[in-house]
């Protein structure tokens, strides 16, 4: 059963955020984009006006000039019209392209770059009336309505204050000469746009962190979703354990071929077998060349007997080596003494068989720390379980 939205009380993981970005979902601030477009456009327009306005006035003056030569040349009006249009485009096109660049930079700066075609892919679920009502009454939409309402009220208040303070000036604007009326109108427009930019700047400063907060809230996950993601990333623990067991068994089967090179095989007596090799000239400590359990242990024993490798039954040492030593690795330091005892016995036995020494009378009992025996730990844990009330 899927978790409800009330259960999603965990922050989004890094993988969830990456997937959302891959799907084109990033934190976007509409107010920041509006502020950047309007503010950037206003700045660019003020930069271009000193250059573009004289050109536009010259083109307009030439367009409105009619004399005898204009009547004689019928295509002169078309030429002037094209020149006027070209002058306008030389100003409007750079301004439009610059505003587009500013808008893109503002969008990328607010939420980063996310190139994805998934938002354009048709989704049947979005046509569902229930899903539509859910989006209408969502937390995201609630904050959007509050934000738009606040923006509308603030802009209306600023606009009314500005109009009320300049009402008489607006009424007498038509009575002013054109040369003095146009600069005054431009000044009023600059003031109006400046107030609007101030309002949008304040709203953008509020909307950027608010959009990031709502974005993270929308991507929050439930405990079940986090567990499922861990399974997808790390794999099912049971399957991974089974794979490791199969890999370990394959390694042990492969190591059986190295048994003929061993100096000794320690067994338990049939469940575990560990083949040990030691060369004092090239090795700092004895190494495990092969190990296995059950059928592999029997294979190691049979192969050792076939190649005259001594097989010594020492259950606790065999279990400790099998549990704590790896193939092609040195034995643990704590087992040096125990392995040295059995190796000394084997070397004495080999020397006696070659007629170079007495036959050892008693098989040694290696001194193995009891805490290294996995059976001891299992029995101790079972006893503690039975003693619990």
Query: Tens of pLDDT along the chain (389 residues)?
Result: 444 444 677 787 777 777 777 776 777 777 777 777 777 777 777 777 777 777 777 777 777 776 666 666 667 767 777 777 777 777 778 777 887 887 777 777 666 566 655 555 666 655 666 655 566 666 667 777 887 788 788 878 877 887 787 777 777 777 777 667 777 777 777 777 777 778 878 888 887 787 778 778 878 888 788 777 777 666 556 666 676 767 767 777 777 888 898 888 998 877 899 999 888 888 888 889 899 888 888 988 999 899 888 888 888 888 888 888 888 888 888 888 888 888 888 888 788 777 777 877 777 888 888 888 877 666 555 555 555 55
Strand 264-267, strand 311-313: pairing = parallel
The residue assigned the tokens 């890999």 is 247
**Helix residue spans in 166-255 (DSSP H):** 167-171, 178-218, 223-234, 237-255
Domains and CATH numbers, the chain: 20-110+127-220 (no CATH), 248-387 (3.40.1690.10)
276 with 266: CB under 8 angstroms? yes
Q: What is the pTM of this model?
A: 0.41
103 with 36: CB under 8 angstroms? yes
Query: φ and ψ at 290, to 5 degrees?
Result: -165, 150
259 with 303: CB under 8 angstroms? yes
């Amino acid at each position: 059963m899927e978790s409800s939205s009330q259960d999603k009380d965990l922050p989004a993981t890094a993988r969830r955020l990456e997937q959302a970005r891959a799907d084109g979902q990033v934190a976007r601030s509409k107010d920041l984009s509006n502020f950047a477009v309007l503010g950037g456009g206003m700045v660019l327009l003020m930069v271009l006006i000193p250059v573009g306005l004289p050109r536009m006035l010259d083109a307009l003056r030439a367009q409105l000039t009619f004399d005898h030569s204009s009547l004689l040349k019928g295509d002169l009006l078309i030429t002037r019209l094209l020149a006027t249009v070209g002058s306008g485009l030389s100003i409007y096109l750079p301004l439009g392209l610059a505003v587009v660049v500013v808008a893109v930079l503002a969008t990328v700066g607010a939420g980063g770059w996310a190139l994805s075609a998934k938002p354009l892919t048709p989704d049947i679920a979005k046509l569902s009336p229930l899903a539509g009502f859910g989006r209408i009454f969502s937390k995201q939409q609630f904050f959007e309505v509050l934000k738009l309402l606040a923006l509308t009220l603030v802009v209306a208040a600023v606009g009314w204050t500005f109009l009320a303070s300049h009402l008489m000036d607006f009424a007498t604007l038509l009575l002013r000469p054109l040369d003095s009326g146009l600069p005054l109108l431009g000044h009023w427009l600059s003031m109006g746009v400046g107030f609007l930019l101030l309002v949008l700047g304040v709203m953008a400063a509020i909307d950027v962190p608010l959009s990031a907060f709502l974005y993270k809230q929308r991507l929050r996950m439930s405990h079940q979703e986090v567990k499922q993601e861990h399974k997808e990333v790390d794999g099912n623990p049971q399957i991974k354990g089974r794979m490791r067991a199969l890999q370990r068994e394959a390694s042990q089967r492969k190591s059986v071929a190295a048994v003929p090179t061993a100096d000794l095989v320690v067994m338990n007596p049939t469940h575990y077998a560990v083949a040990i090799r030691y060369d004092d000239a090239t090795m700092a400590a004895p190494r495990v060349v092969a190990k296995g359990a059950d059928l592999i242990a029997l294979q190691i024993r049979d192969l050792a007997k076939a190649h005259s490798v001594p097989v010594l039954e020492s259950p606790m040492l065999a279990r400790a080596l099998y549990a704590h030593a790896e193939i092609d690795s040195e034995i643990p330091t704590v087992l040096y003494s125990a392995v040295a005892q059995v190796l000394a016995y084997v070397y004495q036995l080999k020397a006696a068989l070659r007629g170079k020494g007495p036959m050892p009378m008693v098989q040694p009992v290696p001194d193995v720390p009891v805490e290294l025996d996995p059976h001891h730990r299992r029995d101790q844990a079972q006893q503690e379980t039975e003693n619990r009330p």
